[in-house]
């Protein structure tokens, strides 16, 4: 049976690499490709896909926002999130938003096939370390670190602030207005009980939050 797989990543070299890996295992595969959020949703609504492989760091709207839109469609689409971020930083976040699995790009060549097979069988693809995080969160929900209470845009803004970007630069990168970015920054500082960008940057370093 031909598998229908939608690959969403803004880099063609990544899409081609994933297609090569998947073709070597599944043989006949019908691929769809998307390089931004608009293309993802356009392809998503064209037909039923067996699985969507979605990069978190998409231009404009993030992959996490796209995941939420897919879930809002109220169908059973299976989504495997792909990211450069270490799984301990964001994997649990993606699963709580409805992803079927999370994979880092540096392990994709080794784990992609297993992850896709696992998800296509109707299961979640969860590594032992992520499973441990989920158990910890359930047993001690109030012990979550402050950044886990941020919205997806707030989390992106935190990453960019920590990477040294100004409000104006963040606005350009996220395709937002300067006042909107300033509002996100204010919310982040309030939620995390901090006052300066330096404090946010130190927090990001201590908690190994990768910079965008």
Cα–chain center distance at 17:
19
**Domain match, 89 and 152 both:** no
Q: Express each pLDDT in 113-152 by its tens digit.
A: 999 999 999 999 987 777 766 666 655 555 567 887 888 8
**Cross-strand bridge partners of residue 81:** 54, 102
Q: What is the pLDDT of residue 39?
A: 94
Sequence-distant (6+) residues with CB within 8 A of 130 are: 87, 88, 91, 92, 95, 102
pLDDT digits (tens, 9 = 90+) for 76-113: 889 999 988 766 667 877 888 899 999 888 888 889 99
Residues 65 and 10 in one domain: yes
Give the range of the structural domain holding residue 169, as residue numbers without chain letter.
Answer: 146-206
CATH number reported for the structural domain that contains residue 162 in this entry = 1.10.10.10
Same domain, 28 and 118: yes
| Predicted TM-score of the model (pTM) | 0.69
* Number of domains the chain contains: 2
Residue ranges of the alpha helices (H) in the chain? 12-26, 37-46, 63-72, 87-96, 108-120, 128-139, 152-162, 167-174, 178-191, 197-206
Q: How far is CA 74 from CA 68, 70, 71, 93, in A?
A: 10, 8, 6, 19
Are 69 and 22 in the same domain?
Answer: yes
Phi and psi at 93, nearest 5°, equal -60, -45
Q: 33 by DSSP, 3-state: which? A: strand
């Amino acid at each position: 049976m031909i598998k229908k797989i939608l690959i969403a990543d803004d880099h063609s070299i990544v899409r081609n690499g994933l297609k090569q890996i998947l073709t070597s295992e599944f043989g006949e595969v019908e691929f769809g490709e998307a390089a931004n959020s608009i293309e993802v949703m356009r392809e998503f609504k064209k037909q039923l896909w067996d699985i969507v492989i979605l990069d978190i760091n998409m231009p404009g709207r993030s992959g996490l926002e796209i995941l939420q839109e897919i879930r809002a469609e109220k169908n059973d689409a299976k989504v495997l999130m792909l990211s450069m971020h270490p799984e301990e930083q964001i994997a649990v976040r993606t699963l709580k938003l409805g992803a079927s699995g999370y994979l880092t790009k540096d392990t994709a060549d080794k784990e992609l096939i297993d992850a896709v097979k696992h998800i296509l069988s109707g299961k979640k693809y969860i590594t032992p370390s992520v499973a441990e995080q989920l158990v910890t969160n359930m047993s001690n929900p109030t012990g979550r670190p402050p950044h886990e209470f941020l919205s997806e845009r707030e989390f992106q803004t935190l990453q960019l602030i920590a990477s040294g970007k100004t409000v104006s630069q963040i606005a350009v990168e996220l395709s937002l207005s300067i006042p909107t970015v300033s509002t996100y920054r204010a919310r982040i500082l309030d939620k995390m009980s901090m006052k300066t960008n330096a404090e946010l940057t130190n927090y990001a370093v201590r908690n190994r939050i990768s910079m965008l």
